[in-house]
Structure 1
Amino acid sequence: MAIKLRKRKEIFTFYNAEGEKIERETEIRFDPLTGESSRLVYDAGLAVASFDYLEAAEKTKGVNCPFCPENIFKMTPVFPKEISDDGRITKGEAVVFPNLFPYSKHNGVTVISRDHFIQLNEFTPALIKDAFQAAQEYIHKVTLTDSNAKFASINWNYLPLSGGSIIHPHLHIIISDTGTNYQTNIYEKARQFEMETGKEYFTALSETEKSIGERWIADTGMITWLHAFAPKSHNDYVGIFNNAYSLEDIKETDWGHFAKGLETIFSILADQEFSSFNLMMSVDPEEREPINVRLIPRLAIGPLGTSDINFFQALHQEPLTYKAPEEIAAKARIKFAGLM
């Protein structure tokens, strides 16, 4: 079984008040690993609601924010000595400490910068690189002290539309004995794919998409960037760390390439007036699949600020997108060409 890119079309026919026939096409795409479907629906012109967080940032910074420099070492908790002699892990401006309200057995928070608010297109590669390297060190320390905690991920909710409850930019690091639904499903399906083809799924995906060229975006260092065939949102970026099966395989140079890639994606999102996103970096607990990253924008739609998630995503668990993956990938290739 090779990578299969399946899709089908449905046509809805109706008439306007003058009796003129109208046809609207919905394209249903199936994820090449899981078989889960998502829908590319008719776009009358996606109207992204604009949000200005400057006023909220002013009200919540400084004494009102536990992540700001004057508070972070006084108001945040500390790790036990086996994780850090100093109680926290630091690199550059990044600081890692325990989450007071953990999602898992091990949950670190990485504050990315001293600045309380950073616009999407103002993140620097240095800030991104240091934050992810600090998260990498935390995961390394945890795995040395807890051999059962094999499911690791680095996650980023950027701004309130993404579910972020604090404007100050930060990551969540989750390490658990139990995988999330995504991790369990993806890696079980990847094992099945490997048994049937003799190939790692994400390596095969990287090679297949690069050979097709429609959704492949760029290779930066060891990382292949592409757009998902069956997207989970109006953009859906996938990063594959080729030949990196554990976080220990990712070196400083690789983090630099990753940071420049994210900076470029942030620019692409900003061009489309998206201001918020969710990101997940997942690590295979058995270290048989390359590390992969997924990033989708979060947004509100129209003058009412309507959520981008409705019954289809929330209950039917079926993603919707107004944007064709191939069109977004073509725009992204132009941006990434500047990195080559």
Structure 2
Amino acid sequence: MFTSFRTEHTEGFIEYRVEDLTGLRTRICPERLKRGIGGVYIPTYKDEDCPFCPGLIEEVTPVFPDGKRIHIGESITFPNLYPFAAYHVVTSITHEHSVPTFTHKQIADALSGQVTALKKQSEYVSINWNYLPSAGASLPHPHLQGLCDHQPDTLPSRYLLAGEQYHKTHGRGYFEDVRKDAERSGRDLPGTILFWYAHPVPIGEREIRCLLPLTTVAEFSDVLEDFAADLISLLGFYRDLGTSAFNMAIFFGQNKDRNTFSAFCSLISRINPNPLSTSDTAFMERLHLEPVILTLPEELASTWREYAQNMPNVPTIIN
């Protein structure tokens, strides 16, 4: 699944990894954790004049062509006023402006709002979440963003194109082999309902992926409740590791991709916003397009196993 080599230095090592299918590269430097670049989450965001808070959201946000917004539980879904995709919708997740933790219902309802708005789109869809400004959220009020474009974005397009060739060469889907390799290597995360694993060539810090048993966004409703339950557990895991901020993206394919592509979620932790934090994105990530990662995926999976043993109400694993 990937190729790696290490360079030793006086303080430890740098491990270079390349994902064989896509050519995506990363470098892992665990000693850099000792710099203490993160810090405790300090919530300082006020709700004054927030367009996603009750009282304003119904006044200032756009509506769909039928003149309505989508209301499911606390969540409200509407078109993005400043889109950067051919079809771009936003879901305000909660009534509350600053939310340190989420309930299963809040996450499930917000995801349902996204699926309702996106399921009739026939092209390439993703559901995305920037949580807190240090993760790129333009507003601290928690919200999801759904995108649909004529062409898949760079990351899913690599898997879509290379996955077709992999299927022709091996007679099976690439993601089947990803799952087998994760289980064999111990990078899988037991105690989850869906299949999650520590991705071996991370594109962000502590990257965890979910291989969904589906292809299109319309099918996501079938596992949405399970996905929300798993996500709650994983976000608690991130908080216990010391970070609250994160990015999430769920990438979907089309019906024609069914034999060669599995919808998947990528989840990464980010540095918490406070005056003492240093960004975890710099020239290597933005200009070289090659992330510098602090945590070995194998260690992340091992830490999850210890965490999951003490987790209450661990769901039954569905194989």
- Provide the rounded CA distance (Å) in 2 between the counterparts of 1:237 and 1:192: 25
**Deviation of 1:300 (Å):** 5.8
- Provide the rounded CA distance (Å) in 1 between the counterparts of 2:124 and 2:233: 28
**Residue 37 of structure 1 contacts residue 318 of structure 1 at CA under 8 Å; is this kept in 2?**
yes
**Deviation of 1:210 (Å):** 1.5
Is 1:230 paired with 2:201?
A: yes
2:7 partner amino acid:
E
CA deviation vs aligned residue, 1:12-66 (integer Å, no higher than 9, x gap): 3xxxxxxxxx35311111124212221111415251123412x32x3xx1x5111
Secondary structure of the residue aligned to 2:107 is: helix
Unaligned runs of 5+ in 2: none
Tell me which residue corresponds to 1:326: 298
Tell me which residue corresponds to 1:80: 65
Tell me which residue corresponds to 1:317: 289
Is 1:271 paired with 2:251?
A: no
**Deviation of 1:152 (Å):** 0.3
> C-alpha root-mean-square deviation of aligned residues, in Å?
2.0
**Deviation of 1:339 (Å):** 2.8
- Provide the rounded CA distance (Å) in 2 between the counterparts of 1:335 and 1:275: 16
> Percent of aligned pairs with the same residue?
28
Secondary structure of the residue aligned to 1:30 is: strand
Query: Of residues 96, 103, 122 in structure 2, which corresponds to 1:124?
Result: 103
**Deviation of 1:305 (Å):** 2.3
- Provide the rounded CA distance (Å) in 1 between the counterparts of 2:99 and 2:30: 34
- Provide the rounded CA distance (Å) in 2 between the counterparts of 1:25 and 1:88: 52
Query: Of residues 171, 174, 197 in structure 1, which corresponds to 2:144?
Result: 171
Query: Of residues 286, 292, 298 in structure 1, which corresponds to 2:270?
Result: 298
**Residue 46 of structure 1 contacts residue 301 of structure 1 at CA under 8 Å; is this kept in 2?**
no
- Provide the rounded CA distance (Å) in 2 between the counterparts of 1:287 and 1:26: 37
Distance 1:153 1:301, change over 3 A: closer
Tell me which residue corresponds to 1:96: 77
Distance 1:335 1:32, change over 3 A: farther
Matched ranges for 1:105-124 at <5 A: 105-119=86-100, 122-124=101-103
User: Given the two structures, how large is their TM-score scaled by the length of structure 1?
Assistant: 0.85
Q: Which has the larger radius of gyration?
A: 1
Distance 1:49 1:323, change over 3 A: same
**Residue 264 of structure 1 contacts residue 335 of structure 1 at CA under 8 Å; is this kept in 2?**
no
**Deviation of 1:302 (Å):** 10
Secondary structure of the residue aligned to 2:158 is: helix
**Residue 153 of structure 1 contacts residue 174 of structure 1 at CA under 8 Å; is this kept in 2?**
yes
CA deviation vs aligned residue, 1:68-111 (integer Å, no higher than 9, x gap): 11111111110112xxxx52112111111011100111000011
Unaligned runs of 5+ in 1: 13-21
How many residues align? The count is 307
1:49 partner amino acid:
G
Secondary structure of the residue aligned to 2:211 is: strand
**Residue 204 of structure 2 contacts residue 269 of structure 2 at CA under 8 Å; is this kept in 1?**
yes
Is 1:136 paired with 2:124?
A: no
**Residue 188 of structure 2 contacts residue 198 of structure 2 at CA under 8 Å; is this kept in 1?**
yes
